[in-house]
Structures are given as structure tokens and as C-alpha cells.
Amino acid sequence: MARKPAKSLANPSLLKPVNRQDGLLQVIVETPAGSRNKFAFDVKQNVFCLKSVLPAGMVFPYDFGFLPKTIAGDGDAIDVLLLMDEPAFPGVAVRARLIGVIRGEQIDGKERVRNDRLVAVAEANHMYANIKRIKDLPKKFLHEIEDFFVNYHNIEGKKYKLLGCKGARAAMSLIKQAQRAA
């Protein structure tokens, strides 16, 4: 009897987004901090693909990823800005504590699409261990993130408008909504 060929790659988009026992998120990293390369998981091919490259001098300031088994307002898995000590790499699953959401709107011509980013702190870290709520982050940090998103979307010919920040309860509500949409 012939054996089925083993799949070479697992599909991280099928993992559980939230651990029900401890409430920690399972964030799948797409783009590591410090990278000019923007990676995205291609669900049709089950691989991480290079989506774009930022211009010289511009890098992703933090790890960015997604929550599996979710669909956000932009049609993709819900985005997560992940705070951790050192950059991860595309495809790694990181257990993280949800602290809030940066609410935003992406404007492409006449089309307006919500493009919120959850904010989470990696469970295994030192630098952000005392960050329990989004309000614990310095205002300067949030302004720098807003500037990054505005510039990032400008490069793509789109505009980005920050709509404010909300805490973990509002963020969890978005996750539940995104899980129902998946």
C-alpha cells in the first residue's frame, strides 16, 4: 500500500487564535521587526511570500502578524502588532497577551476600509513585561506607530487615519467578530 506524501509545510492559518484556558493569543508572525521586507501568508499555497519591500531607510518597527481563523474588515486575518524583545521570523507562532487595539481606517480613492491592529505583548519577554494595558504605552510610542502606518500606506498610494486606541475588552470584541466572519 502506497503512503500519502507528507505535506512539507503546516498551515498556520488553521491554528486556534486564542487559548481558552489562559486567554493568550497565538500570533503568527509574518514580518519581523527591523525588516524592509513585507511578508504575507498565502493561504492558497500555504507559504509565506514576499509581498513588498519598503524603501531604503524604512523598516517595520515591531513584529507584525495575524490571528489565525479570523477575517477582519479588510478581508484578511486580523492584524497584530506584537511587542517582544527580539525580532521573530515569518511563520513562528508566538503566545501573547492582548493589551488593546489601534483603530484605523485605510482610504484608497473613495473606498474606506477599517484596518485595525491588535496590540499584544509576547508572553516570553523582558522589555515589555510590565505593559498590561495599551494605556501603559507612552504616547510617543503611539504617535510613532501612527506615523509608520501613515507613511507605509502612502507608499502604497493609500491614506491611513488613526481613529484612536481602545483597551483589551474592545480588542477581544473585534477578535470574536473576526472569528465569526472566518
- Grid coordinates belonging to 15: 491554528
Q: Give, in order, the Cα–Cα distances in Å from 77 to each of 33, 100, 127, 164.
A: 19, 17, 27, 21
Is 6 domain-assigned? no
Q: Is the model's pTM score more than 0.85?
A: yes
70 pLDDT more than 60? yes
Is 142 domain-assigned? yes
pLDDT at position 2: 59
Is 81 domain-assigned? yes
- What mean pLDDT comes out for the span 119-139? 95
Q: How far apart are CA 35 and CA 151, in angstroms?
A: 15
Q: How far apart are CA 2 and CA 77, in angstroms?
A: 37
Number of domains in the chain: 1
26 pLDDT more than 90? yes
Query: What are the tens digits of pLDDT across the range 132-160?
Result: 999 999 999 988 988 898 899 888 888 99
pLDDT at position 13: 87
Q: Mean pLDDT over all residues of the chain?
A: 91
pLDDT at position 7: 55
Q: Give, in order, the Cα–Cα distances in Å from 38 to each of 29, 61, 115, 141, 144.
A: 11, 12, 17, 21, 19
Is 8 domain-assigned? no
Q: How far apart are CA 155 and CA 84, in angstroms?
A: 26
- What mean pLDDT comes out for the span 66-79? 94
Q: How far apart are CA 109 and CA 35, in angstroms?
A: 28
- H helices then E strands: how many in the chain? 2, 9
Domain CATH number, residue 58: 3.90.80.10
pLDDT at position 11: 85
- Could you tell me the residue range of the domain that residue 77 belongs to? 14-181
